[in-house]
Amino acid sequence: MTLELLLPILFGGGILAGFVGSLTGLGGGVIVIPLLTIVLGFDLRYAIGAALITSIATSSGAAAAYIKERITNIRIGMTLEIATTLGAVLGALIAMYLDKKYIAIVFGCVLIFSAARTVMKKENRRDEIPASRLSKTLKLNGTYPDASGNIVHYNVRNVAGGFSIMTLAGVLSGLLGIGSGAFKVLAMDTVMKIPFKVSTTTSNFMVGVTAAASAVVYLQRGYIDPALAMPLIVGVLSGAYLGARILPKTSVKRLRLLFGIIISLMAILMIYNGITENV
């Protein structure tokens, strides 16, 4: 493939990843890795390096918008970031010794899980729950403004449980080069009972940090190729900007379902390619 053909394909892929990412919450890696490996037939390691870059771009791009609204809980993010960065070190270590066909198979399974979580995502109201002792010590309980501008107070539970799932999310991130946002939201929303809005924005903040921790390693190993990174960075940032602008005006339920199905199909192909050692 010539360079002149590759650039527009990656630029378009980046716009799609940023656009879909900001509308559905699916991270950049979930779209970029299948695009590079299955559609373009590139080596999985280059795809992982490129995906990490996209994850950081999506996360920082969106975080700049969310912070102004004061929804992100920095204390929760920082505390759990200890778990995800430690996990990321572990994941990057495993990646050094694990054959890439197994990485492809694990990636396929994680994709299916992420797709299922995205399709089934719902924004339910919660009753006030009592705060756990650890969350008081760590000052994790907080407030956020709801749609009409009222201040909603929330408490946090099961910090230890959330911390363990976050470690797993970190391992997957270091191993696969994804932000593993779906696991982060699972830990915060389902286990720690943090409100949906706070979980998603805090997860988004954390994705950038975890991906940066893994990216320094992948850069030093030479898995981050400038010709792949450049069009993706520019594409993802423009796509995320577009998505954030039309997000308030669209119903994303069908879009989530559509991409849930597409990504599940990609996942099955990924697992198949892993088994036949074609990655």
List residues binding other proteins (CB under 8 A).
Answer: 1-4, 6-7, 36, 40-46, 53, 56-57, 59-61, 63-64, 67-68, 70, 74-75, 78-79, 81-82, 85-86, 88-89, 92-93, 96, 99-100, 138-139, 208-209, 211-213, 215-217, 219-231, 233-234, 237, 278-279
Q: Which has the closest alpha carbon to 26: 138, 232, 179? A: 179
Contacts 24+ apart (CB under 8 A), 35-38: 36/228, 37/104, 37/270, 37/273, 37/279, 38/266, 38/269, 38/270, 38/273
Nearer to other proteins, 57 or 182 (CB): 57
**Residue closer to other proteins, measured from CB, 43 or 257:** 43
Q: Report the candidate in 87, 81, 113 with the shortest Cα–Cα distance to residue 168.
A: 87
Least spacing, CB of residue 204 vs other proteins, in Å? 11
CA 158/CA 4 separation, integer angstroms: 52
Residue 253 CB, nearest distance to other proteins (Å)? 29
Q: Which is nearer to other proteins, 93 or 119 (CB)?
A: 93
With a CB cutoff of 8 Å and minimum separation 6, the contacts of 137 are none
Q: The tokens of 172 are what?
A: 């997957």
Q: Which one, 113 or 272, has the nearer CB to other proteins?
A: 272
Residue count of the chain, please give it. Answer: 279
20 versus 215: smaller Cβ distance to other proteins: 215
C-alpha 120/C-alpha 25 separation (Å) is 12
CB of 127 to other proteins, least distance (A): 29
